[in-house]
Amino acid sequence: MFNATAVGANFSLSSCSLDDELNTAAEGTGLAFVVFTQAIVELPGAPFWSCIFFLMLLALGIGSQIGLLEGMLCVIFDIDIFKRIRKPYITGCVCATCFLVGLIFCTGAGEYWLKLFDSFASTIGLVVVAFLEMIAVVFVYGHEKFTQDIEDMTGYRPGWYWQITWRFLAPLIMICILLSSMCSMIMNRPQYPAWVASEGATESLFYPDWVMAIAIVIILIGLAPIPTVFLLRRFQCLKLDVNIHQGSIRRIETTVSTKEMMGDVDMDNGVQGWM
């Protein structure tokens, strides 16, 4: 009895409130496994809805994996080095590699690694990619050519709203988002919620320096293809215009159409058909 009392006196646990726990868990994995789960418990026939809910999460996860895997495999299949290897072997190697990398999220510190990837893999890197893509289309390729391409394909010419958005509003908004994100990261060092077992609660701590180095590497990995391809083409180390997939070459060699995609005659016939 004395030992139990002494051990209990060392804990400074506050009152446990379900509302407080739900408020603090309303983000990340806690949103799916705590908040939604508590809402399902309140429904009639909770076991049935719980099975349906987690089957939905499983289906969403598998669907996302298939989409991401197809995106990676299409790029790998178009590289000349891998064209002689059978596609099932390449697919198996990619899946095995992703599986081994994903094991880090199943360790005791998996929640922290998940938080790290969620915070840095899809934030500043994607903003920079979107900004450079917009600059390439609007200012390098030319907004007039882009507008003409849309008109040729759809028969509709984007009006002044889209012109102003593409040329002025979108670049300005992207620059503001990028600068604000970088300033926020510099002024406020990123933190993560660390679990304190003695108190039964989480405590916000700063990421160690080596973790911040990993975060920077994660950001640079997403940006690396842009300068890499630019340098390869600038110094003519890689002829991207020549390295086209053989299937595309066969389709190009069939016949070349000299008719416009959508001309005035097509538009007139379409209008008469609707009339």
> What residue numbers does the annotated binding site for Na(+) cover?
60, 64
The Cα–Cα gap between 160 and 128 comes to 26
The Cα–Cα gap between 20 and 98 comes to 37
- Closest CA relative to residue 126, chosen from 209, 62, 218: 218
Diameter over CA atoms, the chain = 96
The Cα–Cα gap between 255 and 233 comes to 30
Q: Would you call 12 helix, strand, or coil by DSSP?
A: coil
Rg (CA), the chain: 27
Q: Dig out the tokens for 234 from the structure.
A: 């600038």
CA atoms within 13 A on the CB side of 159: 1
The Cα–Cα gap between 26 and 147 comes to 43
Sole residue written with tokens 């990837």: 117
Task: Report the amino acid identity of residue 162.
Answer: W
The Cα–Cα gap between 157 and 146 comes to 10
